[in-house]
Amino acid sequence: MQPVLYGYFRSSCSWRVRIAFALKGIEYEQKSVNLIKDGGQQLTDQFKAINPMQQVPAVTIDGITLSQSLAIIQYIEETRPEPRLLPADPKQRGQVRIICDIIASGIQPLQNLYVLQKIGADKVQWAQHFINRGFEALEPILKQTAGKYCIGDEISMADICLVPQVYNAERFKVDMSQFPTIRRLNQTLIEIDAFKATHPSCQPDTPDDLQA
C-alpha cells in the first residue's frame, strides 16, 4: 500500500516531506488538510485522531502513522536508505542536523500559522523578526559548510529544510539580499526536479489563482 501524506500545499513542513518522497522516488497519495477552510480542517476530531498536535504533515506508512516532518523524513531515511539524505560521516550528519534544527526548532515554529493567529495584527513584523534572526545565524554556518548544496556537494535533509523556509521568508517579504549564501543555495536547489515538482504552486490542492 502506498504511503499517504496528509498535508497542505502551502505548509512548509508538508513540503519538506514531499521533497523527501520525491528524492527517494517513493510514490505516495496526497490527502489535503486545508488549514484555512472550515476554520481549519486540522482541528476536526477526525484529523486529531491522526495527529493529536492538529498540524500537518502526518504520514501513514508501513502500517503506522507518523507526524512531525523530521521524524517522518528520518523514518523514511532509515527504511528506504537510497539515495541517502544524511551523510555517512557522523560529523557531517551533525552539521546537517544543526541546520535542520535551526530551521525546524528555531525559525519555523515561530512563524507557524497557529502562532501568527495568536499574534494578530503585528504578525508580519513578528515573522520577519524571527526569520531574520534565524537566517543571520544560518548564513555564516552555511558559508562554512556549503559546497553546491548546504553540506558539501550532496543533497541532504538540510536542503530539504532550507528551501521551504526560504519560500516562507519570501512570503513574509524578508530581504534575502542580506543572505547571499542562502539565496545562492536556494536558487540552485529550486531548479532540481524533486524540489520543483513538489513546490506549493503546483500541488493537487493549490487553488487555481495560485497555480504556477
Distance in angstroms (rounded) separating the CA atoms of residues 195 and 115? 27
SS3 state at 146: strand
**Contact yes or no for 196/190 (Cβ under 8 A):** yes
* Residues in contact with 173: Cβ distance below 8 Å, sequence separation at least 6, in sequence order: 124, 128
CB of 208 to a copy of itself, least distance (A): 32
Three-state SS for 149? coil
Stretch 8-47: interaction string toward a copy of itself, x if CB under 8 A: ----------------------------------------
Angle, vertex CA 111, rays to CA 109 and CA 115, nearest 5: 80
Give which of 164, 200, 212 is closest to 32, Cα–Cα: 200
Residue placing its CB nearer to a copy of itself in the complex, 48 or 201: 48
When the beta carbons of 138 and 194 are compared against a copy of itself, the nearer one is 138
To a copy of itself, the closest distance from the beta carbon of 28 in angstroms equals 16
Chain Cα centroid distance, residue 143: 21
Q: Does 60 bind a copy of itself (CB under 8 A)?
A: no
Interface stretch with a copy of itself, choices 33-41, 94-102, 174-182, 190-198 (CB under 8 A): 94-102
Tell which one of 70, 85, 166, 194 touches a copy of itself (CB under 8 A): 70
- Cα–Cα distance, 17 to 95 (Å, whole number): 20
For residue 154, the tally of other CB atoms under 10 A from its CB is 18
Q: Least distance to a copy of itself from the beta carbon of 10, Å?
A: 18
User: Which of 14, 42, 55, 186 is close enough to bind a copy of itself by CB under 8 A?
Assistant: 55
Told to check if 131 binds a copy of itself by CB under 8 A, we report no
Which positions lie near a copy of itself, rule CB under 8 A? 51-55, 62, 64, 66-68, 70-72, 74-75, 78-79, 90-91, 93-94, 97-98, 100-102, 104-106, 108-110, 115, 118, 126, 129, 134, 136-138, 140-141
